[in-house]
Structure 1
């Protein structure tokens, strides 16, 4: 669809301003001929020679792809976007903001952190143009996660579906294993794989200062399945205690896999190796035949070794993390980043608006391995089959979707005691003690 929802006036302006656009975008930085169609960027012009600093957790190949996605925008508008990705983003962003060294824009994956910055007056409400763009391209649920007290502070950007289990189609075909359709079938499959002499699961939750977050995803998926989406909402909003019996039951169900020495940790060791195995490397043993299953989000497509084919008949693929009772529906856990500004200069607002557009969503999707809930994103531009499936799920109005709980909870819990508590739990602490500790840390 590209950016087909642009206002008619913008399309007219693009036509009558063709000569001006050619003059503005006729050459690239090296003096050569530009191939950019700058007509689509007219609403962002007028900021030539400015720069905008963006800070995020996006690194390595994802960083390269992100910067490639806005190259044409930079060429046509004259705005230089300077992106810094950091593995210590979650810990360092509050330090920078509180210390008066905030970036112009941050890609924040935790709505709870957005609330913190809005309450302190450090985050800036989006401009009218950004608000219009975001409201046109995202559902009310997504906008709610980026809002505080009805004011939009963060326009959605990338998204992900977390309720996936990665596996090797080749291994399954050779062994005669079938993709499970329920939680009980998943456990039976795990027993079958273990009896074959392979640790069925490989898991890793090490992530620098953010160590523990992949385990919170396990818990959240289980709360949605063992309890219900309604109980999940009550838990996230602290309308029920963090140590409610239904949450404890959900964590114990996750423990049937994660604390089972027969099941984990393929390619790395036993249960305690989970906390020291990086989440980036955790699924790799599937490609080596050392494990069979890895529960991780759609974005894990970026972590497979180079030349790994992701497809139903490829080296790796994924299936939906099955519901306990599929007849009661199939809930989906997901997350995403929000584009939050700490400065309100015109060029910053222009970048924020552009990043909420279908123009950027499709530009980034064409490069590969990226998902967004942006309604203007065409699935034809999403080559990776897992990403395409994720987009279809996100755009389906019937999907029972819930945002990652740890990202919505107050940051001191969701990105603090919850993360640390899950490390303690997988390393041997009991369910009650861990949940009691997290509950006691909830801000009064």
Structure 2
């Protein structure tokens, strides 16, 4: 190669966006997240498509301590460009504090504005995206253990929880599987029950008022939801100690016993991973199936959110990319991912099996989609809710419930929701 030709190539490299020896743009974006192992690999597969299409390098740090690391880095003034947030409550807290940057209209899909929050000026804007979702509030059962007449009734829309309870009460086995243990977060499977009852029996407006801290815990809709949960506790196969000590992932295992120890398990789409680890390796469709929570086309979801802490051009491009059908499909197609998308352009055929396609259709056809209520509440309020469930299970009497609800109202009035003072305090 002549000196003159070499000089020309170096000049070309210096004045174009094409990198000699690679396709990089010279831009980079940092992401802090909690996904490790198989989840981390799935997320990196999503990021790979972004890097190839834009030339932007993504520096991803995956750690189970992401929440604490993010708080530390924000305190030091060195936040990542973007980060996966543990709950919608965290997103709202960071938005109100002025730590997060609005993401504009980056995500318009199933559920509409699920990541809106009030900024430091009190104006509500979208401050994040849902990278992947889990569908909660599904009622799981083993078709082999139910009479044909019961299966036929489950194949039809169920109007209310009372109707489902009547279906369940006709069987010889105890109807409800229930386990509340989850290391430091025990109790949340019970909060999911109460949330689903409020959303489906009282509607999204009441649900939203309650989540925002503007509806009293002692109000009739909330009290009735707790009482419904109390009827579930009374209809479980085991005593109080077993409910408190049984992990949520193992609670449904007795469904597959012969004879079955319980018939129905209330859990999210992620529970299938635990069913697959049960002795006998139950198979979807044959050994377990689901019906949506009764009472209309409302769906509660859990979700992994991404927030932007530094609004660099590369960060904005990444946020926009992660909600596209191409990016979402990269995660959904991976076996065992358990991911569900809010992007309506993602076709059901992308999901890996018939059962997950039905779950995706349940989400896509929902008239109302809401985030998990306790995840959306301030951290102190959510922790009090978890603890209250555990306390109630030990003594689900009217007198104990009155004390619990008054105590939760005290926490509500003390905690508030950040920018908006709670009502009725």
Contact 1:164 1:298 in 2 (8 A): yes
CA distance in 1, matches of 2:357, 2:332: 10
Is 1:417 the counterpart of 2:384 in the alignment? yes
Equivalent residue number for residue 428 of structure 1? 395
Give 1:388 shift: 2.0
Contact 2:177 2:254 in 1 (8 A): yes
Contact 1:107 1:337 in 2 (8 A): yes
Equivalent residue number for residue 250 of structure 1? 225
State the Cα deviation string for residues 211-266 of structure 1 (Å, max 9, x = none).
222211100111123333332222222332122122111110111012x1xx324x
Helix, strand or coil for the counterpart of 2:100? coil
Give 1:116 shift: 0.8
Unaligned 5+ residue runs, structure 2?
A: 1-17, 417-425
TM-score, scaled relative to structure 1: 0.74
Larger Rg: 2
Is 1:271 the counterpart of 2:240 in the alignment? yes
Equivalent residue number for residue 84 of structure 1? 62
Contact 1:146 1:338 in 2 (8 A): no
TM-score, scaled relative to structure 2: 0.77
Equivalent residue number for residue 150 of structure 1? 124
Going from structure 1 to structure 2, the CA distance change for 1:153 and 1:229 (only over 3 Å counts) comes to closer
**After superposition, where does 1:171-190 map in structure 2 within 5 Å?**
171-172=145-146, 178-180=152-154, 181=158, 182-190=160-168
Contact 1:163 1:332 in 2 (8 A): yes
Going from structure 1 to structure 2, the CA distance change for 1:53 and 1:225 (only over 3 Å counts) comes to closer
Contact 2:19 2:25 in 1 (8 A): no
CA distance in 2, matches of 1:404, 1:286: 26
Is 1:333 the counterpart of 2:300 in the alignment? yes
Unaligned 5+ residue runs, structure 1?
A: 1-19, 26-44, 324-328
Equivalent residue number for residue 6 of structure 2? none
Helix, strand or coil for the counterpart of 2:305? strand
Contact 1:111 1:146 in 2 (8 A): no
State the Cα deviation string for residues 7-36 of structure 1 (Å, max 9, x = none).
xxxxxxxxxxxxx799857xxxxxxxxxxx
- CA RMSD, aligned part only? 3.2
Given the alignment, which residue of 219, 231, 236 partners 2:211? Answer: 236
Give 1:105 shift: 3.1
Equivalent residue number for residue 349 of structure 2? 380
Helix, strand or coil for the counterpart of 2:101? coil
Going from structure 1 to structure 2, the CA distance change for 1:383 and 1:402 (only over 3 Å counts) comes to same
Is 1:389 the counterpart of 2:368 in the alignment? no
Q: Give the length in aligned residue pairs.
A: 380
